[in-house]
Amino acid sequence: MNKAIFLDRDGVINRERGFTYRLEDFEILPGLIEALREFRKRGFHLIVVSNQSGIAKGLYTQADVEVLHAFLNETLKKEGIAFDEIYYCVHHPDISRCICRKPDSLFIEKALARFSIDPALSFFIGDKKRDVDAAHKAGVMGILIAANTPLSELMHILK
């Protein structure tokens, strides 16, 4: 079985600014690349699970999100790093019901099955309680951090 680091996007990968959907507002956090490189070195799959409710609210489009993810992937590719997958929920409970929006765990469970991941060997790093709740529902260890904390500060606890 494999192991994975699941990551929330806003506040963990990029600076939390509220609804981040414009490229000029998308700032990759310091230390991210080094931390991802170390996670890979330790044998972890890298999977993003993000709520993007601004799509359901009509604040931005799925195409806007895809532009940010393409930029992120291209930036990481230049560093020899890649995410195994980026899952994002386009729903908001006031507008549409789903089971993919955190704190539900559909995307985590999907990744566990797709990549043969052992949840007991895996972690979910998020800056909101809903991230940790989703992790726990899937049997993954949740790690709650303050928004915009460099991932490099977690290296000592992730084996």
Catalytic residues: 8, 10
Residues 123, 8: contact at Cβ < 8 Å?
no
Residues 60, 19: contact at Cβ < 8 Å?
yes
13 class by beta-carbon count within 10 Å (0-12 exposed, 13-18 middle, 19+ buried): buried
List of residues 6+ apart from 38 with CB closer than 8 A: 155
Which residue is it, tokens 């992120």? Answer: 72
